[in-house]
Each structure stands twice: as C-alpha cells, then as structure tokens.
Structure 1
C-alpha cells in the first residue's frame, strides 16, 4: 500500500458529482422511522463481521414538520446500522440497526445530556481489531457557534458481542483541546493509522499510529513528528511533537486508499465555507495536494461530514461513493463522484 512519491499528484478534479439516494429518515428507502429515526447525521463507515457498519450521531425519533437541524423527541446520542449491500450505485439498503427491546435504534454510548457538563457523546469513526469492534468518540460539553464546540475528552469504546453492547474504555483518552478529538482510522502496513483533528472545523490534521494488538495501551501510540531528508517518517511517543500534515479548516474527515489513483484520499468538512473538500496524498503523512471542492455549500447548503469507504467504488475505483449529512432536513444522503486524472 505504498504509493509512488516520485510521481506528481495525479488527481485533476472531479466530475458528475450527484446525489444518489437518501439513506435515513422517513423519506428514505430504508424508512428508518420504523426504528425511531426521523433525523440523524454523520454516517461514517467501517467493516467488521463481514458487514459494513454505519455510525450515526445525535438521533431523534420524532420531529415536527419543518424542523431544521438537530433536535426532536426520543433523543439518542448515537446509533449503528449494518448492511451487506455491495452495490452502491442505487444507494445502500440497511439490513438492520442495533435495536433495543422495543425495536428502536439503540443508543450505543450513553451521555449525561446536560449542557456544559456532557451534552452528548458522538462517535467519530469505527474500526475492527483483535476480534472486537471499536468506536472512537468525543464527549461534547457544549455545542457553540456553528462549526465550534467544547469537548471534555476523546476516547474509545469497545464491543465484543458484534456491536450489541458497548463499553467506554478508561484508556486511552485524549484531551478535549487536542488534535485527536475527531479521527479517521485505516490499516496501513499492519498498523492502525489515526488522522485527527481538533474539536470543531477550524484546525489542521495530525497523524498517529498504533499496532492493532496495542490499541488499548496509551503509551503504545506514536505521533508523526516529521520526515528526514530522504522522506523517511519520524514517530514520537510525545503527542506534543505531532506535526500538522494538512493546514486547513478541517472538520469531520475520512481518509482512504485509492487503488485507482495509487494515492490516499482525504474528504472533510471545510469550516472555511468551501463545503466538502477532497485532497490527494502521496503517503499517509503527505505531501497532500490542494483542496478540491467535493460538494459546494452553494449547491448543498448546510452540508457536512463527507465519509468514504474503499469498498464503495465503481469503474475500477474511478467513481467514489460517500455519505453526506445535510442540516435541513437533518439526515444522511448518498453521493457519487468521478475522479478525473491528469493526462
């Protein structure tokens, strides 16, 4: 999975960016109101147990007509769907959700739901390791101005029963003002790499890694601290030594390997007003190319959280599919885009 850093950037742009389907809500083909989901957001994806798992944030079972943004009745801080759908061309059909005894989508990670204490607990990404499933989460103290929020800490939760129940781990955790509050996770050459950003959407990206067998060992994490003259990466056990690898207003992000381009792709909410952005990386730590608009805020007002998964591509990887949240109607949608390579 090592690209050719001697070659220039190969991604010229995007074409045929289109909405394919609505994934959540009463108006979706999945009719998630049947599991008490009238509105939800996020929708990051990971693979485990032969399924793809979709991870959602604040979830509401009933919303008055015309309600804008997060809110409503039957509030749960998070929810989890699974699918075996392998054809992304017409949307994704969920096989089911993790549900409670009443058949409603179950809150996986509990929260106090008290403003300025712990408003909610939002899972930012999932991954599988050591026969278990993990969710990276952030404990949100307070939602502030648009694109900004206060966080108590970030951490990991674990499930050993195929996603049915979850326990927050005492360690590792990261401070709420660190650069690893929101993460994207991928396996690279036998290690788990975490690309991280701060709370909100107004900072850059840093990188850390850990062996899968040591994911629960705080001192096992190593932080990217720069490269030598020959491009060899340097890793430090000191979080303060972490270098910023993408300097931008980066919010919710996902990073995947593109077999089609032999490059890394990073999608994210651009807090600078550019909507959803896409960048090409020569290695996991860069260099990373300029931001390309994936979906503009002018075309889709209130968009955020563009998440990719390597398996959801077409045409040999030349077409990518991704989730995208929209503040009004506060649900998750399925999009596609064609990667345009340089001649």
Structure 2
C-alpha cells in the first residue's frame, strides 16, 4: 500500500488484543477461531518506526524455540499497607489551560516539536548481521514467541524466588480545601408518566463476512505517530461520535507519555483521558487523527480532571459521546479503585459532562450523576445515542460482569436526571434505574451503540468475556428484541483485546470499530464486512 496524501502507510497485518484485565475462564470457544497466524516481522509505518502486533502468531522461525516450561525468576506477593491520605474537598477546579494547535508538518515523518521530544534514532545491529532495525520505542510489541532463556530445555529447573512487596492502600480522609467549582443550580424536578415501550420484531443475527485489522491508531509506529505529536505513547478505548458535520471526536482513556513501557499499565505523564479529532472519511487504509486538545505544544491535555487518589477517585474514564446542536455531551465513569480481580472495578458514579466550545473545555454537570450506592448502580458505564426526540442511554454496572439496561430522555432534558425514563417490563417508567429490565441474557462490557440509518437498525458491540469475543447484536428499536450475539473478534485469535467502539461513519456493509490491546496498550482500527439486511 502506497503513501496516501495526509496519511502514513497503515500496517498491513495488525492484530488486536483483549482485555488484559479480564482473564476469566473461557468455557466457550468460537468455531471461527483459527490456529496462530503465520509469523511476520512487526509492522512498521512509512517512517520506519516499528509498531505493535498483538495478533497471536507462530514463533519466529529464526529464533531458538521457547523453553518447554517458562518459569519466571521472581514471583511478587503484594502486601497491602494502609496509609492515611488527606484529601481536600471540594475538588479543585478543572485546569482548562489550552493552546491553539499548530498545523502538523506536511512531511508526516518530520518531528513537529523537536524541542519537546527528540526523534528516535534507528538502532544498528552488529556488523555480522549486515542489517539495521528501526527503533521500537517502548518495545517491539511482537508476540512472535521469543522468550528469555536458552530454549534448549537442558538447563536445570530453577524454582522462582518469592518476594514480598508492600503496596500502599490509601485510606482517604476528607479535609477542607479551596472553594472548588462554582455550585450549579439544580434542574427542576420532573416526573414523566409511564408510557408504553413495546419491542419490535427481531431482525435476526447479523451476518458477518471477513473481519480484518486495518492498522494501529495510536502509539509508537502508528499511522498517527501520537507519541511524537501529542505525547501519547500508551492509551486505550478510542470511542467516537460525530461532533459536527464532517468531524469525528475520539476520546481515549488513561494515557501515558514518554517513558511508558510495553506490557505495563501506568507510566509517566499520566492523563486520565485525552481527546482527538478526525475528518478522515476513507477508513480503508487507516484512521487519521488531525489534532488533539492540547494544553501545551505537542501535548494532549487531560480534558476531564480526576483526583488520581486510590479509594477516592483513581481516574475518570469517558464511556460515550454525542452532540446535539453545538453542544457536546460525554458520559463518563468516576473510578473509585481498580480491583485485584481481573476485569472488575468500583465506581463512585456515572456522570455526564458537556462542552460548548467544540470539545476544547468541558464541564462536569454536578446533578447529572448516577451514584453507585452500595455498588449496585445499574447505569455506571453508559453508551448514549441521540435519535429522534430522545437520547437513549444503555448502561451496565461497574466492572465487566453486568447486564444491560436502557433509559431515555428528551433531548432538551439530558442534564436533568429526574426526567429520565427507564425501560421496565415493556414500559418507560420514571425513577426506576435499578429496576430496568435487562435487554438480553448474558453479561456485557463497555457498550458501543449506533443507529445505522442506511439499514434502519440499531447495532451494539461489546466485549463478552464468557464468549471470549468482542460481539455484535442488532435490533429494530433500542429496547429490542435484540438479536443473538455474533463473535466479531475472538480473544483467542487476538489475545488481550477489549473494547469494540463503532465508528459513526460505518456503512451498512462496512462496520469500522476500534479495539484496544492490553500488553501494547494502544488502539487499533478494525473492519467487519456485513451483509446488508436490505
């Protein structure tokens, strides 16, 4: 594939990955799952930078075989150490420092901010090899099967060393702080009467054709070179909405900058979230990000603040976005703490923020919040979609083991929580969030929902841990009947993948979506071919 104007060449064969955070037992094995893909060198972009290929692949034939038993030299046992942590209340005001982004260089391989970050130099191999390899940034990301150890299997078996490591467990204690944000007036209390919400006839299970990886969207070696342009080395999610005609907003979760290491969650320059924009309509060769919201040169800003205090508010993660007129809305979750149980976390609440300046700065509404009382909140992780006179809110509890509920609200009352009606036993009922009827059997994680106007159908994508896949359903109305799910990307083929956020400019036959990878902790664009229902 040649270099297109304004684009870096997309890696031809990229894998995705599953949630490294959810290593549940997998009783279901999708029939479409295949043996590991043939070995290929890690992909590179047009600048020669090596990207990450998390697709399950056969071992590199040029390397010694891996050891039969690969025992780690050290096993860490983390010991919690309680620590009193004063936390000022109320929260300090959001930092809305912003700059006008400079245009990117015409040459995609030119460093736009050499004073901010040095351009990596290629690393030459030994003279005997007679070749050079491009710099791989934080790690090659190749699951090529290479491993430490001799691989001969003849070495004496050594037991791992056990090490006890202290882990600070904060005990937050609120203390008086500054004035914080100005209190917002509460909206009027309204109660809409119960209205019927009948289901429609099912559309049947979506029929899938080929599913392929288009390319890496973020990180070192990506089409967008986000590490050099905006100090985005590791990030995830990449949920999207049309912020205005011809422009897509793209929100990412926890983000780390220079010094982030492959295979590690966390690192320097931590931002709980960042936001980019794209006008790229030809997604067949990759997704180009035109710019990001920045607080300094070549530095993506954290656009929704978080306290970054475990057991108080560890981080703030976007879950969906939409626009009504010139106002942007964003649903988000306030994370109290991540659990040691894979795939689980605890939220303080799910909330809504809004922006009236095109997404540059955001205000968290102080009243549009769904508190997670005793951990039973049903609308902690939301996907919100405007359609007709309503905005529909699909929601799950915190973590990845919850059922899916549905609510709706008039477009003029999005920030008035009392105006929401919840779908309960075939009716739209007020003040019934925890009685919402599950839309289908089974668990769902981090929903992405889209109304496909071309085919007049609703589409829903999410990670189903019990099916070891990112799956797709469809329905004629938001309340269903929702079809059976069909696996789109098996986590046996793409280990450690999660997400599945649909691009709004998908068509009725080409479904584009982003997937995140845990070890490489970056975002990838995928495409699924669909049979049109028409």
TM-score after normalising by structure 1: 0.91
SS in 2 for 1:117: coil
Indicate the structure (1 or 2) with the bigger Cα radius of gyration.
2
> Deviation digits for residues 192-228 of structure 1, max 9, x if unmatched?
001111111101110011112111112111111122x
Q: Does 1:23 align with 2:222?
A: no
Aligned pairs for 1:49-64 (under 5 A) are 49-50=244-245, 51-64=247-260
1:69 and 1:290 mapped to 2: Cα distance? Answer: 35
Q: Does 1:97 align with 2:288?
A: no
> Deviation digits for residues 74-128 of structure 1, max 9, x if unmatched?
0000000001111111111111000112330000111111111111000111111
Q: Does 1:136 align with 2:327?
A: no
Counterpart residue number, 2:514: 323
Query: Relative to structure 1, is the Cα distance of residues 293 and 218 closer, same or farther in structure 2, using a 3 angstrom cutoff?
Result: same
CA shift, 1:162, in A, is 1.3
1:104 and 1:219 mapped to 2: Cα distance? Answer: 39
Q: Does 1:278 align with 2:477?
A: no
Asked if structure 1 preserves the Cα contact closer than 8 Å seen for 2:355 and 2:363, the reply is yes
Aligned pairs for 1:283-298 (under 5 A) are 283-298=477-492
Asked if structure 1 preserves the Cα contact closer than 8 Å seen for 2:205 and 2:485, the reply is no
1:12 and 1:77 mapped to 2: Cα distance? Answer: 35
SS in 1 for 2:491: coil
Asked if structure 2 preserves the Cα contact closer than 8 Å seen for 1:11 and 1:261, the reply is no
SS in 1 for 2:295: coil
| RMSD, matched Cα | 1.9
> Deviation digits for residues 227-268 of structure 1, max 9, x if unmatched?
2xxxxx433332233111123221111111234543211100
SS in 2 for 1:118: coil
CA shift, 1:183, in A, is 1.3
Asked if structure 1 preserves the Cα contact closer than 8 Å seen for 2:404 and 2:440, the reply is yes
Counterpart residue number, 1:79: 274
Segments of structure 2 that go 5 or more residues without pairing to the other structure are 1-198
1:161 and 1:244 mapped to 2: Cα distance? Answer: 36
| Count of aligned residue pairs for this structure pair | 330
SS in 2 for 1:100: strand
1:49 and 1:311 mapped to 2: Cα distance? Answer: 12
Segments of structure 1 that go 5 or more residues without pairing to the other structure are 228-232
Counterpart residue number, 1:266: 460
Counterpart residue number, 2:410: 211
SS in 2 for 1:295: strand
2:356 and 2:533 mapped to 1: Cα distance? Answer: 45
Asked if structure 1 preserves the Cα contact closer than 8 Å seen for 2:510 and 2:529, the reply is yes
Q: Does 1:300 align with 2:483?
A: no
1:167 and 1:12 mapped to 2: Cα distance? Answer: 38
CA shift, 1:269, in A, is 1.2
Asked if structure 1 preserves the Cα contact closer than 8 Å seen for 2:305 and 2:316, the reply is yes
1:261 and 1:10 mapped to 2: Cα distance? Answer: 13
Counterpart residue number, 1:153: 349
Q: Does 1:182 align with 2:377?
A: no
Tell me which stretches of 4 or more aligned residues in structure 1 moved more than 4 Å.
none
